[in-house]
Structure 1
Amino acid sequence: MQKVGILTSGGDASGMNAAIRAVVRTALYHQMEAYGIHLGFEGLMAGNFDPMSRGSVADIIHRGGTILQTSRSQIFMTGNGREKARDELQKRGIQNLVIIGGNGSLRGGYELGKLGINVIGIPATIDNDIVYTRSIGFDTAVNTALEAINRIRDTATSHGRIFIIEVMGRHCGEIALAAGVAGGAESILIPEIETDLDEVTRKIKQGTQRGKLHSIIILAEGVYPVMELAQEIEKRTGKDTRVSILGHTQRGGTPTAVDRIMASRMGMAAVDFIVEGKRNIMVAEEGDRILPVPLQEVIRGTRTPELAMFEIARILSI
């Protein structure tokens, strides 16, 4: 009987639980044994394994976070750490490991695959920065940011203020771009496009001249120090400028239908690919299709946002 281990690693993303549920139940459907590994790669090296049943994943599809918990591990990225992880899997006869996480998690999985373990990756990160696919958690994070934008716009209008809303995304502007377009932001600042403060202030002044009461600026974290940006814009425009940093509120919460469905499809496909004999691949969504992509290609790729969206935002915010 084949055995499948499941772990979540790196930052949590809403929809991870739906993916765990799908992996476990599909494995059991194929008469496999499923084992949950707690606390990511740290738990893998520590031998923190639990057998999983249909009941152990009941009533989790709607929950944010991850029931297996997660961590980031520097030790695992050493040769000794990965060998320890392999030994813990082999000691239990677990031939396959499903890793649910982002770029760092998939990179760790690729290295573990070199030691003889069959690794199947499921992309789950709010950053949506993994090549060849959308990622579980992104849609929920965007909708969380969008809800905040809608609420802040009411306050901005009431007080005639400029608001800078900083969203997460690390080195990728996907959340800022999607939330900014959907939220009708006047300006969107992302790492993939050089910041032009002259253009930002020009739009604000144009809006003021035609009687616009407020402006919303969406800033991807790390692009510009947000408090310095607020001071500079207030100095240039003379308008009261406030800052709202959404932070980790974008990670948690009930996953959207989009993330639940995608996680369910990817989790089921991960086990199906094991049954088909696929090795060391990531489950990717391409349109309506679910495809296997070699982990080696995934870790070498670099994803950039669809910058045509930036042009949409630029034109529609005039």
Structure 2
Amino acid sequence: MYKIPSLPSSDKKPRAIAILTSGGDSPGMNPAIRGVVRAALHKGIKVYGVTKGYSGLIIGDMTEMNSASVTNIVQRGGTLLKSDRCLAFKDPAVRHQAAMVLKEKDIDALIVIGGDGSLTGAHLLTQENNINVIGLPGTIDNDIYGTDDTIGFDTAVNTALDAIDKIRDTALSHESLFLVEVMGRNSGFIATHVGIACGAEMVVVPEYETKAETICFQLANNRLLGKGASGIIVVAEGQTPGLTTHLANVLAQHQLEAKVCILGHIQRGGSPSGHDRVLASCLGAAAVDYLCAGYNDVMIGVRDSIITDTPLKQVIEKNKKLDDAFFQLALLLHK
């Protein structure tokens, strides 16, 4: 349950808003869209859904939405509005073109659901073109500053966990070692949560350097002591392509055969968890409330179960760090 703050009244209620999803899709984007649409219509605000993120915005590809537009979408993965990674939006002239599209259609504000890059685009759009924007954290990586939780993270963890529980059956039956790669180029949130939940022997994340030789020593020591032999090592993909395969090759040089299993994009798909549906719905509805209260250039997130706002400038300039004590707990439980 999330506590929704009481916001001050304002005479800045928008007449019409647009909503888009941008960047990598994440489970829960659809419930967020539904939350925005239903809350806006309740307040007498028109809503336009933009197709394919910023790419659709710059060409005016949008459709007015009604209550029926978002019927039966809460259980669907992906995004009803489609998504895109629009590199052209890095150009100020393109952002100005997008702003002109909104103004020509008499749209007063834009709600953007996405990750760090998408929220950066939203911040620049309002700074340069005086378009009111509200951001929602939609990413499975949970690496957005200003919120404890992001839309899609819980589902991604559960999807990875379900796959690893199946892999474990083979690992135990054959006494095999599996290196299971989960998403997370710069962030070890998924890997750490999954590692704790599945009882993995080890967790490898970008935030902490882990040498392959150290892994070999720890595995050999675990076998010698007869403990920790779950057969599962969870590896965040990291910034270097092929990290997990490299680790497997080094282990092989030390007579430790490890099978590589890369979960990949299955973590992005699937029906959103109950947790993500509630989180997304609350954040979507709250975004409309914040717009009506006169807020602009902020991201709506959640801290300590309270819905909060964080300036987009802070969101894109600060890094959300993996809690050291939490990661150390992951290591402790694997001993």
Displacement of 1:315:
1.3
| Aligned counterparts, 1:256-271, within 5 A | 256-271=273-288
Instruction: Give the structure 1 partner of residue 204 of structure 2.
Output: 189
2:325 pairs with 1:308: yes
2:85 pairs with 1:68: no
Instruction: Give the structure 2 partner of residue 278 of structure 1.
Output: 295
Using the alignment, how far apart are the partners of 2:193 and 2:268 within structure 1? 16
Q: Quick one: which amino acid aligns to residue 118 of structure 2?
A: S
2:235 pairs with 1:222: no
**Number of positions where the alignment pairs a residue of Structure 1 with one of Structure 2:** 317
2:56 pairs with 1:56: no
Instruction: Give the structure 2 partner of residue 317 of structure 1.
Output: 334
* Superposed CA offset, 1:181-230 (max 9, x none): 11111111111001133432233113322446552111111266221210
2:254 pairs with 1:240: no
TM-score (norm 1): 0.97
Q: Quick one: which amino acid aligns to residue 21 of structure 2?
A: T
| Aligned counterparts, 1:13-28, within 5 A | 13-28=26-41
Q: Quick one: which amino acid aligns to residue 113 of structure 1?
A: T
Using the alignment, how far apart are the partners of 2:333 and 2:93 within structure 1? 54
Which residue, out of 9, 32, 51, partners 2:45?
32
Instruction: Give the structure 2 partner of residue 119 of structure 1.
Output: 133
Instruction: Give the structure 1 partner of residue 59 of structure 2.
Output: 46
Instruction: Give the structure 2 partner of residue 299 of structure 1.
Output: 316
Using the alignment, how far apart are the partners of 1:33 and 1:316 within structure 2? 51
- Greater displacement, 10-19 / 275-284: 275-284
The SS at the match of 2:310 is strand
Instruction: Give the structure 1 partner of residue 249 of structure 2.
Output: 231
Contact 2:213/2:250 (8 A) holds in 1: no
Using the alignment, how far apart are the partners of 2:185 and 2:220 within structure 1? 30
2:165 pairs with 1:150: yes
* Superposed CA offset, 1:248-276 (max 9, x none): 00000000011000001100100000111
* Superposed CA offset, 1:20-73 (max 9, x none): 000000000000000000000000001101000000000000110000000011
Which residue, out of 173, 182, 190, partners 1:175?
190
Displacement of 1:306:
1.4
Q: Quick one: which amino acid aligns to residue 197 of structure 1?
A: A
The SS at the match of 1:302 is coil
RMSD: 1.3
The SS at the match of 2:58 is helix
Using the alignment, how far apart are the partners of 1:157 and 1:286 within structure 2? 39
- Greater displacement, 6-15 / 293-302: 293-302
Using the alignment, how far apart are the partners of 2:239 and 2:178 within structure 1? 16
Instruction: Give the structure 1 partner of residue 6 of structure 2.
Output: none
Moved over 6 A (4+): none
Using the alignment, how far apart are the partners of 1:226 and 1:194 within structure 2? 14
TM-score (norm 2): 0.92
Contact 1:190/1:223 (8 A) holds in 2: no
Which residue, out of 161, 173, 178, partners 2:176?
161
Instruction: Give the structure 1 partner of residue 304 of structure 2.
Output: 287
Q: Quick one: which amino acid aligns to residue 256 of structure 2?
A: K
Contact 1:181/1:309 (8 A) holds in 2: no
Instruction: Give the structure 2 partner of residue 101 of structure 1.
Output: 114
Contact 1:121/1:281 (8 A) holds in 2: yes
Contact 1:153/1:216 (8 A) holds in 2: yes
Q: Quick one: which amino acid aligns to residue 318 of structure 2?
A: G
Contact 2:200/2:230 (8 A) holds in 1: no
Instruction: Give the structure 1 partner of residue 3 of structure 2.
Output: none
Displacement of 1:125:
0.2
Contact 2:201/2:230 (8 A) holds in 1: no
Instruction: Give the structure 1 partner of residue 145 of structure 2.
Output: 131
The SS at the match of 2:69 is helix
Q: Quick one: which amino acid aligns to residue 313 of structure 1?
A: A
2:217 pairs with 1:202: yes
Identity of aligned pairs, percent? 44
